[in-house]
Amino acid sequence: MKSEIHPKFYDEAKVACACGKVWEIGSTVKETKVGICAACHPFFTGKQKYIDTAGRVERFRQRYGMKDK
């Protein structure tokens, strides 16, 4: 094998989620930021969150005749 062609591997690379949770993994990147993790994802928590950007949810509901619950 050729030497010096492999990236540096970090045994204690940090991953930070937008919710504030931080954990360590092994990776070739020292720090990673993610937008959603298992601690805050609706599938795992059972809580649905709507992130309404500029009224998109409301426009969708008006367009297709849906009403708020």
Assigned CATH topology for domain 10-63: Rhinovirus 14, subunit 4 (4.10.80)
Q: Residue 26: its pLDDT value, please?
A: 96
Q: What is the pLDDT of residue 61?
A: 82
pLDDT at 52: 61
Q: How far apart are alpha carbons 23 and 10 in whole angstroms?
A: 13
- Could you give phi then psi for residue 37, rounded to 5 degrees? -135, 180
Return per-residue pLDDT of the chain as tens, 69 residues. 788 899 999 999 999 998 899 999 999 999 999 988 888 887 777 777 666 667 777 888 888 887 665
Upper half-sphere CA count for residue 22 (Cβ side, 13 Å): 7
Note the pTM of the prediction, 2 decimals.
0.57
Break the chain into its structural domains and give their ranges: 10-63
Residue 65: predicted pLDDT: 81
Residue 16 φ then ψ, to 5°: -120, 130
Rounded distance, CA 39 to CA 32, Å? Answer: 16
d(CA 23, CA 1): 33
